[in-house]
Structure 1
């Protein structure tokens, strides 16, 4: 049996299974992820000038939607290629306490954004280093990633998927692997 044919058949089958699974999910895509920042201009420069994400919306609010109290903040959205966005809030001084400190360990929390190619990740790495942005790269085998720290300490991963990513990220045995791992942790 030709291994290339079986891999193609397996890949086609996995794509079909993924399409069926996704058709049953009513949540379509990430709309946006929002984080509070201290300096919106530094944030704008990082996401728009360095990463190339266009600022597509700046909303000024006069009340806090959580407390319904008078407030003053701006909510800015930077668009990704699929139409989703990363968004940020900055409150006028005196309306809220200081933002919580950020965790600098990417295993605690990070936001991963998918690039169109490994070459794009390498190009961004060079730009980030030239701009003095704290960053490092990791070859995960199934993807190549650049980890950067934004002006407020948020860890951003820019990643390019390789062909093997499809199998890694769409594994039929995912639930069984999780159960086995959790059971081993409880022993």
Structure 2
């Protein structure tokens, strides 16, 4: 079983399109336009990731939906969770690809946070809905010890922290030299 698509509502579909197609490099491939459960109608836009016809991110542009003026599009604000808790992560295959994505975000005017989590290396920015998006490269391997630690954490009631990140760096768009 694999991931097929994640669907989210868009606050500003034009800004979402520009970010996910021009900045992220995903391709808008189709739209479904239909009534929405509960009333109103929507356009459901699908963006193909990395040319793979089995993996998409999709966005709803909603119209005439009851209560629409109260919709919250930032996942963490909607859930009342700390910033960055709910986020969208996309995979890359190499450190070069991760660096290219960081440069692409900076060149498009987005600040980037880079974190080496000791088992994966990530970069983060925010999309036009305010949601944190991530590109992530798995750098570690998982064995019995990692699984045992994870299973033990399921029952722990006190914080037993893992090692801190090996690296954290903020890449400001204003300092990007291209």
TM-score, normalized by the shorter chain, greater than 0.5: yes
| DSSP 3-state at the match of 1:132 | coil
Q: Provide the C-alpha distance between the structure 2 equivalents of 1:72 and 1:183, rounded to a whole number of angstroms.
A: 44
Q: Which runs of 4+ in 1 moved over 6 A?
A: none
1:40 and 2:13 correspond:
yes
Question: Does structure 2 conserve the Cα–Cα contact (< 8 Å) formed by 1:37 and 1:99?
Answer: no
The residue number in structure 2 matching 1:177 is 149
Higher strand share: 2
Q: Which has the higher contact order (CA 8 A, sep 6+)?
A: 2
1:105 and 2:83 correspond:
yes
The residue number in structure 2 matching 1:7 is none
Q: Provide the C-alpha distance between the structure 1 equivalents of 2:150 and 2:138, rounded to a whole number of angstroms.
A: 23
Larger Rg: 1
Q: Deviations over 1:55-94 (max 9, x none)?
A: 1111111x113x2x3x221111111244211111111256
After superposition, the CA RMSD in angstroms is 2.4
- Give me the TM-score of the superposition, normalised by structure 2: 0.73
Q: Deviations over 1:101-153 (max 9, x none)?
A: 523722x1111100122112211211211222232111123222110100011
- Give me the TM-score of the superposition, normalised by structure 1: 0.70
Higher helix share: 1
Q: Provide the C-alpha distance between the structure 2 equivalents of 1:160 and 1:175, rounded to a whole number of angstroms.
A: 20
The residue number in structure 2 matching 1:52 is 25
Residue among 76, 85, 105 paired with 1:128: 105
The residue number in structure 1 matching 2:49 is 80
Question: Does structure 2 conserve the Cα–Cα contact (< 8 Å) formed by 1:114 and 1:159?
Answer: yes
* Gap regions ≥5 residues in structure 1: 1-27
Q: CA deviation at 1:179?
A: 4.1
